[in-house]
């Protein structure tokens, strides 16, 4: 392709002047990549040269015209970024950005930077109009809200923190997930595919079948006294009965509290005592890989514990998971314990909807920190419904033909927003997988992708790095041709893992929606839109519609342009949580008092010269070394960029001279042995990429890292091992393999 020079003119300043009174977008040209128009008014996007024989990384702009392929005359060189186009070639370390292909953008819901900016401008300039338009056109409301779409106070200096969206609007999330889709002609569409831990066992439910199952459980719950506003604790693995239970609670206005079926009995009891449920729902056991986990035993212990603390539960509904454990081998308490299969199928397959206000409670989800009482994050109905559905639709560029698989467990917020509610509100076909992602071998994920023709695959960086460590051969033996969009969630993904995910799993043809959000936000806050933005490996890119992220310094002063600091959000968004259950004071103190007028995310963030956001992890995961504040995620990213490092976790330890030292747990790639040479090479990598001040004081060899069954690294345990506080390790029952802790202790002085 021959490149010629043209004289483009900036578009960003033309789009955004009206926003300056709400959001400092007057300087957005310093925050966003330069976008131009050609003489015909069409937007120009970055593009790599199509001369496949030319390996000199000569990169160009190109048209994002949705009606025709870009003419060769509309090409202009870009000076400071190197790029590769989706589907053209693998992403290498020499490439700064990965660009959406013309074909992908042509079919995308948001096909260009210009379209994104137009929608974003509308969402910030007129949030009431933007969100009410979506809420009115895409959801069913028994009664519309009043004249006021939302009200907010995010400033503790002006009184109590309060956020409300669509108050007075009457709706039901279950109705919108199921009945509305059935009425739209999706009765016979597959709603759920279910894949067992054991290969060869699976099941399906259509939307009409799912509704029937939900109604039967809803009727049962009503029969045992569950009413609107009552709590139901759910301790289930990834069986179809888990989303069925969540939807059944919503149908009758009950508030579910799903507890990840990996938490200990003590943790479960804490949550039971806090929300005082009418019913606990569980199953007798589950298989995770070759291991059987006896969930009913854990629940029994939790119910004894909670009763000793004054909270008794009269009904424990238990599903018999026959592939894991037969009922005759299950411990039982007559009068309290009831087999799901014995009662639920006897109830009618239709159930009246309990219509609720948009601001009525929807669910509780407890976040557990390393210390202190778990926080019961409370989400309400209307705003959460609208926000999760909209974020799912645009961040994954959802099509009606997609088969969607999120590997998260419904015990976490990702399983609420992006396994169950966001997808179902869009009428999607969802895959649930019960088992371990590497069972019976590390190729299981891609075997499942091929079996169900999965098109959207959403997972965590920890799983990506784990599969990366096992080698490409477990991926490439499968086709994966159905994949269209990949996604990352849970923590910042380091660039080397991003490139492996893109190149090997996606075959260099699938954009990655690297999403940043939290339990508290309800849905995506900063995320790529696959057809619109060039992607930088490891960056969450730009804010979603209606989200106003700012980076502030320690005094709360907003920083412009290229900078690093504390990530906050100003103004509310529909998916925001409303309080911490029973502790509104803690809600205000934790999230709104640190920087009055803002929601404080607790995360650090950098913004580069092109406006891209780079999350650096929790600010409490910042190490202060001789006055230098160093994000642990930054050091970890440098370590895993080493070709012989599969995974790393960094914590701070006390240091007599520096204040704090850097302590790194490192897992080498398969087949690489620990050695002094490797240790020096890893330290040199960090010194080279970050600086001498960031060099780890200690490299602790780790055959594996302590992770929960959801794949989250338990850094609390690592901190105690690093500090040699071995008598303070705390509860390690939620680890996928508690034996890892003993291994790490033995290797402490290696």
**What does the alpha-carbon distance between residue 682 and residue 677 come to, in Å, rounded to a whole number?**
9
The predicted pLDDT at position 339 comes to: 98
The pLDDT value recorded for residue 689 is 78
List the domain boundaries for the chain: 626-747
Q: How far apart are CA 42 and CA 236, in angstroms?
A: 51
Q: 71 or 258, which is more confident?
A: 258
**Active-site residue among 620, 731, 737, 749?**
620
State residue 37's pLDDT score. 29
Q: C-alpha 674: how far from its chain's center?
A: 34
The secondary structure element, H or E, covering residue 434 is none
Question: Is 77:46 a contact under the CB 8 Å cutoff?
Answer: no
Answer yes or no: 400 catalytic.
Answer: no
What is the predicted pLDDT for the residue at 358?
Answer: 98
- pLDDT above 70 coverage of the chain, percent: 87
* Per-residue pLDDT band at 62 (split at 50, 70, 90): very low
Supply the pLDDT for residue 124: 97
Mean pLDDT of 298-320: 97
Q: How far apart are CA 494 and CA 637, in angstroms?
A: 5
Q: Which of 460, 461, 451, 459 is nearest to 481 (CA)?
A: 451
Residue partners of 116: CB distance under 8 A and separation at least 6: 110, 529, 532, 533, 542
Consecutive H or E run containing 625: strand 622-625
User: What fold characterizes domain 626-747?
Assistant: GMP Synthetase; Chain A, domain 3 (3.30.300)
For residue 35, pLDDT beyond 90: no
Percent of the chain past pLDDT 90, that is, above it, reads 73
**602/105 Cα distance (integer angstroms):** 34
508 pLDDT exceeds 50? yes
Averaged pLDDT score across all residues of the chain: 87
- 350: number of Cβ within 10 Å: 11
- CB contact at 8 A, 298 and 268: yes
Which pLDDT band holds residue 627 (cuts at 50, 70, 90)? low
Q: Which residue has the higher pLDDT, 591 or 31?
A: 591
DSSP assignment letter at 703: S
The residue with greater pLDDT, 618 or 182, is 182
Structure tokens at 115: 């379209």
Q: Which residue has the higher pLDDT, 712 or 185?
A: 185
Per-residue CA distances from 575 to 117, 128, 189, 406, 603 (Å): 21, 14, 28, 20, 18
C-alpha–C-alpha distance, residues 351 and 519, integer Å: 30
Rounded to whole angstroms, the Cα distance separating 44 from 290 reads 53
How confident is the model over 571-584, as pLDDT tens digits? 999 999 999 999 99
DSSP single-letter state for residue 737: -
Pairwise CA distance, residues 136 & 176, whole Å: 12
Going by pLDDT thresholds of 50, 70 and 90, the confidence category of residue 59 is very low
**pLDDT (0 to 100) of residue 480:** 98
CA–CA distance, 409 with 401 (Å, rounded to integer)? 24
Q: How far is CA 496 from the centre of its chain?
A: 20
Overall average pLDDT of the 526-532 stretch = 97
Most confident stretch, 116-130, 461-475, 649-663: 116-130
DSSP assignments along 7-68, one per residue? --EE-HHHH-GGGTTTS--TTGGGTS---EE-TTS-EEEEEE---TT--S--EEEEE--SSS
Q: What integer pLDDT is reported at residue 624 of this predicted model?
A: 73
Query: Could you give the CA distance from residue 6 to residue 415 in angstroms, rounded to a whole number?
Result: 48
What burial class does residue 311 get, using C-beta atoms within 10 Å of its C-beta: 0-12 exposed, 13-18 middle, 19+ buried? middle
| pLDDT reported for residue 629 | 65
pLDDT at 465: 87
Task: Please give the Cα distance from 577 to 595 (Å, whole number).
Answer: 18
Helix (H, G, I), strand (E, B) or coil at 364: strand
Closest CA to 561 of 8, 26, 124: 26
Give the model's pLDDT for residue 80: 62
Q: Per-residue confidence at 31, pLDDT binned at 50, 70, 90?
A: very low
How confident is residue 734, by pLDDT bands cut at 50, 70 and 90? low
Classify residue 419 by its DSSP letter.
I
Two tokens, residue 611: 């406006």
């Amino acid at each position: 392709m021959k490149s010629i020079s043209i004289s483009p003119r900036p578009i960003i300043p033309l789009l955004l002047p009206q926003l300056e009174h709400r959001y400092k977008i007057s300087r957005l040209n310093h925050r966003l990549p330069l976008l131009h128009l050609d003489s015909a008014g069409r937007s120009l996007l970055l593009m790599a040269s199509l001369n496949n024989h030319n390996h000199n990384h000569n990169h160009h702009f190109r048209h994002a015209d949705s009606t025709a392929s870009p003419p060769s005359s509309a090409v202009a060189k870009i000076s400071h970024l190197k790029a590769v186009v989706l589907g053209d070639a693998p992403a290498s370390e020499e490439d700064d950005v990965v660009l959406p292909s013309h074909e992908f953008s042509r079919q995308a819901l948001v096909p260009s930077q210009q379209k994104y900016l137009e929608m974003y401008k509308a969402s910030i300039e007129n949030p009431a109009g933007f969100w009410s338009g979506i809420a009115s056109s895409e959801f069913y409301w028994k009664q519309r809200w009043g004249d006021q779409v939302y009200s907010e106070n995010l400033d503790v200096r002006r009184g109590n923190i309060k956020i409300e969206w669509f108050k007075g609007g009457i709706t039901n999330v279950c109705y919108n997930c199921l009945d509305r889709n059935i009425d739209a002609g999706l009765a016979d569409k597959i709603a759920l595919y279910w894949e067992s831990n054991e290969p060869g066992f699976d099941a399906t439910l259509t939307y009409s079948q799912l509704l029937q199952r939900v109604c039967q459980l809803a009727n049962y719950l009503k029969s045992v006294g569950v009413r609107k506003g009552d709590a139901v604790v759910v301790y289930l693995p990834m069986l179809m009965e888990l989303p069925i239970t969540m939807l059944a609670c919503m149908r009758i206005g009950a508030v579910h509290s799903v507890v990840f079926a990996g938490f200990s009995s003590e943790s479960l009891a804490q949550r039971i005592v806090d929300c005082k449920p009418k019913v606990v729902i569980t199953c007798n056991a589950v298989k995770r890989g070759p291991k059987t986990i006896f969930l009913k035993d854990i629940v029994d212990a939790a119910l004894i514990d909670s009763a000793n603390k004054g909270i008794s539960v009269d009904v424990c509904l238990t599903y018999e998971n026959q592939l894991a454990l037969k009922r005759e081998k299950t411990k039982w308490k007559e009068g309290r314990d009831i087999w799901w299969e014995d009662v639920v199928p006897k109830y009618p397959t239709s159930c009246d909807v309990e219509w609720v206000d948009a601001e009525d409670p929807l669910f509780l989800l407890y976040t557990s920190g390393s210390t202190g009482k778990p926080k019961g994050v409370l989400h309400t109905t209307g705003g959460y419904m609208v926000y999760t559905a909209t974020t799912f639709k645009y961040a994954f560029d959802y099509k009606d033909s997609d088969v969607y698989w999120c590997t998260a467990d419904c015990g976490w917020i990702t399983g609420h927003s992006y396994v169950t509610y966001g997808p179902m509100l869009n009428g999607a076909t969802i895959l649930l997988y019960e088992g371990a992602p590497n069972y019976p071998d590390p190729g299981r994920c891609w075997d499942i992708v091929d079996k169900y023709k999965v098109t959207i695959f959403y997972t965590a960086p920890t799983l990506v790095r784990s599969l990366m460590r096992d080698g490409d051969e477990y991926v490439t033996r499968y086709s994966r041709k159905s994949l269209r969009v990949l996604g990352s969630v849970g923590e910042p993904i380091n660039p080397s893992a991003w490139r492996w995910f893109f190149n090997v799993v996606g075959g260099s043809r699938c954009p990655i929606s690297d999403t940043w959000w939290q339990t508290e936000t309800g849905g995506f806050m900063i995320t790529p839109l696959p057809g619109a933005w060039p992607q930088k490996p490891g960056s969450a890119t730009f804010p979603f519609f209606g989200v106003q992220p700012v980076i502030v310094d320690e005094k709360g002063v907003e920083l412009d342009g290229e900078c690093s600091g504390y990530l906050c959000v100003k103004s509310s968004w529909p998916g925001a949580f409303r309080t911490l259950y029973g502790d509104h004071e803690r809600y205000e103190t934790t999230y709104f008092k640190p920087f009055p007028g803002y929601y404080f995310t607790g995360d650090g963030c950098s913004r580069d010269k092109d406006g891209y956001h780079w999350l650096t992890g929790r600010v409490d995961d910042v190490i202060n070394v001789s006055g230098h504040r160093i994000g642990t995620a930054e050091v970890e990213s440098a370590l895993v960029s080493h070709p012989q490092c599969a995974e790393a976790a960094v914590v701070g330890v006390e240091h007599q001279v520096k204040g704090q030292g850097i302590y790194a747990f490192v897992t080498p790639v398969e087949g690489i042995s620990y050695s002094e040479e490797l240790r020096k090479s890893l330290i040199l990598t960090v010194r080279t990429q970050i600086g001498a001040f960031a060099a780890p004081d200690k490299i602790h060899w780790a055959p594996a890292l302590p992770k929960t069954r959801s794949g989250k690294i338990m850094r609390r345990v690592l901190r105690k091992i690093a500090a040699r506080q071995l008598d303070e390790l705390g509860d390690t029952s939620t680890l996928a393999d508690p034996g890892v802790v003993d291994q790490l202790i033995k290797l402490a002085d290696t």
